[in-house]
Amino acid sequence: MAQRFPVEILPILGAVFMFIGLATTYGIAAGLKHTDAFAPYISNTGDKSPENGIFTIVMSGTTFLLVAIMLIRFKQVWDGTYHTGIKKIIIQIVNCVALPSGLISGIGTLLVGSYRMSENNALHNDGVVIGLLFGFIYMVLHTAIGPFVRPRLKLRWLVLGIRIILLILIVVASGIFLGCKEYDYYVLLKISAITEWFLYALIQSFFFIFVVEFRKMNLIFHFEFQENIRDDFERVWSDDKEENSLSIKLLPNC
């Protein structure tokens, strides 16, 4: 029995899940007057009960989806570069550095969702910095190797240009967000909060572009069960011009 899951759905799910989740926590927090209704910090929308539980779920769920995207992208680059020799080695080194950077950024996001500002502000802020810093490293590295990975997109240079623009905007937004946050002035704090929402929208936009590169790629699960036989897992990656498939097979092993 085989089940196919179109991988291109993952970036869409990540963006939709985070948007709906944060909109929910904002609505609850603003409705209960737990935070300022006008441009609160994202973290302030999940600082008090009952919205804090939803906020943790949103951050954890978003992290799970982003990590899934990172792992699939790692496998895609590992098997999908059309270069050989030293160029292939460089691409794979970059790929291997990018994955742990992305995973560390995920840990930062989990810290943001797990530790509320009112309880442990220092650890919460550390999570923000870790998530932004290592997430940015991941995005820079995959921007660099993106044009050299199959599927070889006709608009790959346009995709590269869009990613570079997003990275520039992320740097500017991060500077405004973190810089204005240091000053205890209402206007600057509101500018910082608005920029934070814009910043996370930019980050989601970067990962959303993977929809284009994940086209015609399926995560395929094969399950075969036999009685009294030990089961073994085998991961198979097939790559052709029409479709890339990541298969997980549950095979009998005598």
Length of the chain equals 254
Residue 165 located in a structural domain = yes
Is residue 107 pLDDT above 60, yes or no?
yes
Q: What pLDDT is attached to residue 190?
A: 93
For residue 163, give its domain range.
10-215
Instruction: Pull the structure tokens for residue 108.
Output: 């930062």
More confident residue, 116 or 139: 139
Report the chain's mean pLDDT, rounded to a whole number: 84
The domain total for the chain is 1
Residue 1 located in a structural domain = no
Residue 230 located in a structural domain = no
Q: Are 196 and 22 in contact (CB under 8 A)?
A: no
Residue 46 located in a structural domain = yes
More confident residue, 15 or 151: 15
Residue 238 located in a structural domain = no
Is residue 139 pLDDT above 70, yes or no?
yes
Q: Say how far residue 74 (Cα) sits from the centre of its chain.
A: 13
Beta partners for residue 234, in sequence order: 249
> Reduced to 3 states, what is the DSSP secondary structure of residue 154?
coil
- Going by pLDDT thresholds of 50, 70 and 90, the confidence category of residue 156 is confident
Share of the chain above pLDDT 70, in %: 83
Is residue 183 pLDDT above 90, yes or no?
no
Residue 78 located in a structural domain = yes
End-to-end CA distance of the chain: 20
Is residue 250 pLDDT above 50, yes or no?
no
Distance, in Å, from the CA atom of 126 to the CA atom of 111, rounded to the nearest integer, reads 8
List, for residues 20-48, the tens digit of each pLDDT value: 999 999 999 999 999 988 989 999 999 88
Q: H or E segment at 231? A: strand 230-239
Summarize the confidence of residues 166-183 as an average pLDDT: 93
Distance, in Å, from the CA atom of 234 to the CA atom of 223, rounded to the nearest integer, reads 11
More confident residue, 116 or 230: 116
> Reduced to 3 states, what is the DSSP secondary structure of residue 49?
coil
Is residue 223 pLDDT above 90, yes or no?
no
Share of the chain above pLDDT 90, in %: 54
Residue 251 located in a structural domain = no
Is residue 239 pLDDT above 80, yes or no?
no
Q: Are 191 and 180 in contact (CB under 8 A)?
A: yes
- Going by pLDDT thresholds of 50, 70 and 90, the confidence category of residue 141 is very high
Is residue 18 pLDDT above 70, yes or no?
yes
Is residue 62 pLDDT above 50, yes or no?
yes
Residue 237 located in a structural domain = no
